[in-house]
Amino acid sequence: MALEDAKTQIDLAFTGSGRGLAYENAFGGALSAFRRRYTKDLAGVDLAITGVPFDQAVTNRPGTRLGPRAIREASALQPFDAPYGWGYSPLDEFTVVDYGDLAFDYAMVSEFPERLTDHIRGILAAGAGSLVLGGDHYISYPILKAHAEKFGPISLIHFDAHSDTWQDDDLSRIDHGTMFYKAVKTGLIDPKTSVQIGIRTDNPDTLGVNIIDARTVHERGAAWVAGEVKKIVGDRNCYLTFDIDCLDPAFAPGTGTPVWGGLASWQAAAILRDLAGVNLTGGDVVEVSPPYDTTGATAVAGAHVAMEIIALYGWTRRAG
């Protein structure tokens, strides 16, 4: 069946139904996230994927504005098969669409946060889940506002080299290193039931957020980490954000603030799969910077993380 479909499928970004595996050539056709259909109609949609090409908040190397495009391209390798190790096919069981990119005026940066919050509000109000492809990590803050408005204070599952909780009490500042400080201080996330994984930069004030640093991941193992995360989060509504620099630069060189000693891609994959059962309201993949991604490996990793988030989101929503 797949071979026959490969002979006829093309441009599923426009002709697809939004459900089912895809067999058009990975090197051809119009690109969309996982060959999902582009649409602005959310009727009957389970999960909407949005690109947010924003990188005006970076502290070092820019380029993550090109991340959504690169992740979409890398994702063309994945919709031929169900994601390995999950035992089900989320693209078959759920209607997942590519909702396109967020439109914003790059020269009016101050207007960006509310524009993104309103965009996510619209998705959630339609009854769909939201998966965002970034973009720098600041984007998680306006996204979390929309989730907290609908679900109440969120438990955050945060993969990163950096805690991003450096003190910043000026809510008008747009900075990809302080947004979770603001999220805690404004009550968007509950620090006691939140956890940060892979941290390996110094920030003494954790604001009460649970930390599983990179060395602990290496020493205790992926299964232990996933178990601890599940204990911390419990059955609460949670949001998963994955900064690609959680991975060691050997696995993800295409990012703005790389830090050695990070997770291997297999460790991240194992943790994400073992998180099956958490009550996920949505997620994002951020900080993929294609100008520094000479082999495309970082975008490939970002696309795999996005697929794991899709599988996690679907896990607790499967029929039966």
Q: Are 159 and 251 in contact (CB under 8 A)?
A: no
pLDDT in tens, 7-16: 889 999 999 9
243 is in an annotated binding site: yes
pLDDT in tens, 233-251: 999 999 999 999 999 999 9
235 is in an annotated binding site: no
Superfamily of domain 2-315: Ureohydrolase domain (3.40.800.10)
218 is in an annotated binding site: no
* The pTM of the whole model exceeds 0.75: yes
Mean pLDDT along residues 260-279: 98
Q: Are 194 and 158 in contact (CB under 8 A)?
A: yes
pLDDT in tens, 119-178: 999 999 999 999 999 999 999 999 999 999 999 999 999 999 999 999 999 999 999 999
Angstrom distance (rounded) from CA 285 to CA 163? 16
pLDDT in tens, 83-93: 999 999 999 99
Residue-level pLDDT at 317:
96
pLDDT in tens, 299-309: 999 999 999 99
Judge whether residue 199 has pLDDT over 80: yes
Angstrom distance (rounded) from CA 172 to CA 192? 26
43: helix, strand or coil = coil
Q: Domain extents for the chain?
A: 2-315
105 pLDDT tier (thresholds 50, 70, 90): very high
Mean pLDDT along residues 68-96: 97
4 pLDDT tier (thresholds 50, 70, 90): low
Q: At what angle do helices 140-151 and 112-125 cross, to 10 degrees?
A: 40
Residue-level pLDDT at 18:
86
Residue-level pLDDT at 276:
98
Mean pLDDT along residues 171-196: 97
39's CB contacts (< 8 A; 6+ apart) are 18, 45, 97, 98, 99
- Hey, which residues does 54 pair with through a beta bridge? none
Mean pLDDT along residues 63-67: 98
- In SS3 terms, 168-185 reads as CCCCCCCCCCCHHHHHHH
Mean pLDDT along residues 49-53: 98
3 pLDDT tier (thresholds 50, 70, 90): low
Mean pLDDT along residues 36-50: 98
72: helix, strand or coil = helix
Residue-level pLDDT at 14:
95
Q: Are 117 and 146 in contact (CB under 8 A)?
A: yes
137 is in an annotated binding site: yes
5 pLDDT tier (thresholds 50, 70, 90): confident
Residue-level pLDDT at 7:
83
Angstrom distance (rounded) from CA 209 to CA 241? 14
175 is in an annotated binding site: no
Show the tokens assigned to 216.
């602990």
Q: Are 205 and 167 in contact (CB under 8 A)?
A: yes
160 is in an annotated binding site: yes
Judge whether residue 103 has pLDDT over 80: yes
State which amino acid sits at residue 292.
Y
Residue-level pLDDT at 320:
64
Mean pLDDT along residues 38-67: 97
